[in-house]
Amino acid sequence: MCEYDYSANLLCWYDNNARTLPWRIAPNSVSALPPDPYRIWLSEIMLQQTTVVTVKDYFNRFIERWPTVHELAAANDSDVMAQWAGLGYYARARNLLKCARIIAHDHGGQFPNSHAALLKLPGIGPYTAAAISAIAFDQPQTVVDGNVERVMARVFAIQETLDIAKPEIYSKAAILTPPIRPGDHAQAVMDLGATICTPKSPKCENCPWALHCKSKQLGIAHDLPRKRAKPAKPTRIGYIYVARRTDGAWLLERRPQKGLLGGMLGWPGSDWSAKPKDTPPISANWTLANSEIKHTFTHFHLRLTLCTSTVEMDVTAQIGTFVPTTDFNRTDLPTVMRKAYDAARPIFRLD
C-alpha cells in the first residue's frame, strides 16, 4: 500500500469521525472562514503536557475574555496567570504573553506563516511550529505528538524504546504526510491515536489502517510503543503558611517570575528541599495542621506541612500582602495552593 493510500483512507475516516473541538474547523466545513492561527496557537500551547478534556474549558474562557491576539497582548500579567491557574506548567503562560506581545507589536497581529519564523517566537518549539504551519496555514509539515508516536510505532511495528525510536517515528510520519490537506491529516492522526489507537485498549476493528498495521499482524499492538522505565521521583518537603486577619483578609504573595509556579499568587512558604527552613512570613501563633498537603510535579513529589494562624489587624507582614476577602478568588491559585486553602478552610471554620 503506497503512502498516498494511507493518507486517503485516513482522511476519509477523519471526515466522518473527527472530534468536535472548540479551536477546530470541522473537515469539509462550509464555513467561509479559514482556520484562525491565534486559536490554533493558543490551543497548542495549552495542550502541551495537558489533556484535551482539561484544556477545553480553559480555552473557551481565554477566547471569551481575549478573543484576539491584540487583546491578549494588552492583558495584565496577573489576570492571565490567574486564568491559567490550575493548568500547570506556568512557564507556558509567561511565554504566551511574551509571544502575544511580539505578534501584536512586531508582526501587526499576524502570525508568521513559515515554520522557521514561528520557531523564533517564545514558547514555540518544533512540534508547535509544525502544528501551526500545518493546521493554520495548510503547509505539509510533519506533526508528531504523543498520539502520533503511538500510532506510528504500532503501524510500522517499531519496537525500540521511544527514546531511541523517535527519529524513525518522525521519518515514518513524514513519509505519510501528504501535500494535500496536511492540516487535516495531522489532526486525523492525532484523533486516531486519541480515539482508536489508544494506549491500553486499541479498537483495531474500527481503525482505517488495521489491514496494514504491522503490530496488529504480529499481535504486539498492546505492547507498543515501548518506554524506558522512569527513575523514581524524589520527594521534597516544606512548610506553607495560611494566615487570615480578623477582618477576613488573607496573607498572599506573588511568587518570583522565574522558577516553579513563577508569577503565580500563593501562600507564603519555605523552600522545598530535603531540609527546609521553617521561616514564617509574620510573627504569629502558628498551629500545625494534622494532615500534609501532597502534590506531584513533573520531577518530584511534594509534601507540605500546613501552618495556620488568625492574626490581629495591626500585624505587619515581612513577606506578602493581606488581600481583602472581596478580592480573593480561590480559582486564581495554582493547584497546590488550592489544596492548602481547602485544607485550611475547616480550621478557619469556613465550611
For residues 58 and 46, is the Cβ–Cβ distance under 8 A? yes
The residues pairing with 252 across neighbouring beta strands, listed in sequence order, are 321
C-alpha cell of residue 10: 485516513
Q: Residue 182 CA to chain centroid, in angstroms?
A: 24
CA dihedral 83, 85, 90, 92 (to 10 degrees): -40
Catalytic residues: 44
For residues 63 and 22, is the Cβ–Cβ distance under 8 A? yes
Residues in the chain: 351
Q: What is the DSSP track for 15-82?
A: HHH----TT-PPTT---SSPP-HHHHHHHHHHHTTS-HHHHHHHHHHHHHH--SHHHHHTS-HHHHHH
Closest to 157 in 3D by CA, of 223, 211, 229, 203: 223
Looking up cell 511550529 gives 129
**CA–CA distance, 2 with 22 (Å, rounded to integer):** 34
**CA–CA distance, 325 with 39 (Å, rounded to integer):** 34
Looking up cell 489532526 gives 187
The residues pairing with 243 across neighbouring beta strands, listed in sequence order, are 309
- Return left, alpha or beta for 89; rule: phi > 0 is left, psi -120 to 50 is alpha, else beta: left
For residues 142 and 118, is the Cβ–Cβ distance under 8 A? no
C-alpha cell of residue 265: 499568587
For residues 168 and 157, is the Cβ–Cβ distance under 8 A? no
